[in-house]
Amino acid sequence: MDRQLYIAMTGAKHSLEAQRHNNNNLANANTPGFRADLDSFYQAPMHGPGFATRAYAEELRAGTDFSGGTVMTTGRPLDVAIQDEGWFVVQATDGSEAYTRRGDFQVNAAGLLTTGDGLMVMGEAGPIAIPPDSKVEVGDDGVITAIPDGVPEAPIQVDRFRLVNPPLGGLFKHEDGLFRLHDGQAAPDDAAVRVKSGALEGSNVNMAEALVQMIDHARQFETHVKMMTTAERNEETSAQLLRHPS
C-alpha cells in the first residue's frame, strides 16, 4: 500500500508544480517579449540501503520556448522589436547584466530609458539617457537619435542599444524572468542584430494550448488524489481482515 500511496503523493505534488509553471505562462500571455516555460515529467527511482523498490514522479522546468512572438505595429517611437534573433541588454534589479526581448520602452523621471517593468536599458555608453523635450527616433541598427523640439535640423545621436545574440543553448531563464549566460559572463555585442521601431513583439504563449494544459494538470492532480484515497481504503480493509480473520 505504501508504494501506491508514495507514487500517488509525489505525482500529485508535481502535478501542482506543473500547474504553477503553466499558470505563470498564462499570467504572462500579454507580457511583451515573454518566452514560455517548458516542463516535463519523468520517473525517478529512490536509491538508498537495499534495493531501489520505490519510484517517484518528478516534474522540472525542462527549458524555454525560444520561438518568436507576434510582432505588432504600434507607431509608438519607443516601442522597439528585435528582428529575427537577438536580445536587448538590461540591468537587473541586483545590478547584473541580463537579456530580454521586451521592447516597450519608456523614459523615467530621471530621463533614463527603461523597459515597461522599470529595468534600465543599456547602451554602448551605459544606461541610455534621453534629452528632455525631444522626439526620439530609433534606426534599424539600434542607433537612438533625439530631435529637440523646435530644432528639427539639429538631431543628436544619443546612444546605440547594446544588442547581443549569444547561442540559445548558453542561455537560461532566471527566476526574475530575465535571461543570462550559464557561465555568468557577458555576451559580446553583435552589430548584425536589427530592430524595428514603432513595433512591439508580444508573448509567444499559446493561450488555447495553455488553457488545455491547465485542465489536463487539474485532472492529473484529481487522479493522484483518488489513488491516495484508494490506497487508504485498501489499507483499512487489510487491517480489518487481519483483526477478524474468517
Q: Judge whether residue 3 has pLDDT over 90.
A: no
Predicted confidence at residue 53, as pLDDT, reads 63
Q: Are strands 194-197 and 80-83 parallel, antiparallel or unpaired?
A: antiparallel
The CA–CA distances, whole Å, from 199 to 82, 115, 157, 161 equal 9, 14, 21, 16
Q: Is the pLDDT of residue 27 over 60?
A: yes
Task: Give yes or no for residue 246 having a pLDDT over 60.
Answer: no
**189 pLDDT band (50/70/90 cuts)?**
very high
Q: What is the pLDDT of residue 237?
A: 74
- Map residue 52 onto helix, strand or coil: coil
Q: Is 101 helix (H, G, I), strand (E, B) or coil?
A: coil
pLDDT value at 37 more than 70? yes
Give how far Cα 56 sits from Cα of 182, 229, 232, Å: 29, 18, 18
For the chain, give every domain's residue range: 2-66+205-243, 71-201
Residue with cell 543599456: 122
Residues 108-164 pLDDT 10s: 999 999 999 999 999 998 999 999 888 999 999 999 999 988 677 778 899 999 999
